Amino acid sequence: MNKAYRLILLFLIGLASGCGAPSTEKEIPEAGYDPEARLKELNITLPEPPSPVANYVNGVRVGNLIFLAGKGPKRADGSEITGKLGVDVSIEEGYEGARLTAINQLAVLKSMLGNLNKVKRIVKVLGMVNSDPNFIDQPKVINGFSDLMVDVFGERGKHARAAVGMASLPRGQAVEIELVVEVYE
């Protein structure tokens, strides 16, 4: 098979699989999709995004994906929910910590995008729980994050996820969560 024929064949295969030339049409959310309005309905006011605590940035955009650095349950007054699940933090307190972390991540997203209506989908969540070695309910804790994503973004908030236990987390925080988000152009 000559080189030109192979290139044409690969191009056609790419077109058939949706990997061809980019579309000139700009994707937009359908009518009725409004995470900003949903936040108001839930009485959630986003804080100023927490600043990175070391040599990194809050998020990096690559194409239509945003990779958000891990954040924890920092309150508006600067205090954090700290402690170890299975020792001095209950599942309910951990759930609230994960929910607070979701609010902090939404604040970062909004600062990067200007408007949460540009979020196409929550793709992947990594939830880390500061856990006693015998604690096995990390998914119940990280549900605080996942539940809020679905409350705000509906079906678009459903995501792939890992909820894992850690021996410790920075500053003793109860949870740390990072995520990947797909956005409209």
Going residue by residue through the chain, which has 185 residues, state the pLDDT in tens, using 9 for 90 and above: 566 555 555 555 554 444 444 444 566 667 789 999 999 999 999 999 988 889 999 999 999 999 999 999 999 899 999 999 999 999 999 999 999 999 999 999 999 999 999 999 999 999 999 999 999 999 999 999 999 999 999 999 999 999 999 999 999 999 999 999 999 98
CATH number of 26-183: 3.30.1330.40
Res 24: pLDDT? 44
Helix (H, G, I), strand (E, B) or coil at 1: coil
Question: How far is residue 165's CA from residue 136's CA, in Å, rounded to a whole number?
Answer: 8
Helix (H, G, I), strand (E, B) or coil at 134: coil
Helix (H, G, I), strand (E, B) or coil at 183: strand
Give the DSSP H or E segment for 122: strand 119-130
Res 26: pLDDT? 60
Res 102: pLDDT? 98
Residue ranges of domains in the chain: 26-183
Whose CA is closest to 100, among 69, 70, 74? 74
Cβ contacts of 150 within 8 Å, gap of 6 or more: 157, 158
Res 51: pLDDT? 84
Per-residue pLDDT reduced to its tens digit, 36-89? 999 999 999 999 998 888 999 999 999 999 999 999 999 989 999 999 999 999
Question: How far is residue 31's CA from residue 100's CA, in Å, rounded to a whole number?
Answer: 29
Question: How far is residue 136's CA from residue 141's CA, in Å, rounded to a whole number?
Answer: 10
Question: Contact at 8 Å (CB) between 99 and 148?
Answer: yes
Res 5: pLDDT? 54
Q: Write the DSSP assignment of 61-121 as a string of letters.
A: EETTEEEEEEE--B-TTS-B-BS-BTTTB-HHHHHHHHHHHHHHHHHHHHHHHS-GGGEEE
Give me the chain's average pLDDT, please. 89
Question: Contact at 8 Å (CB) between 130 and 168?
Answer: yes
What is the rounded (10 degree) CA torsion for 57, 61, 66, 68? -10
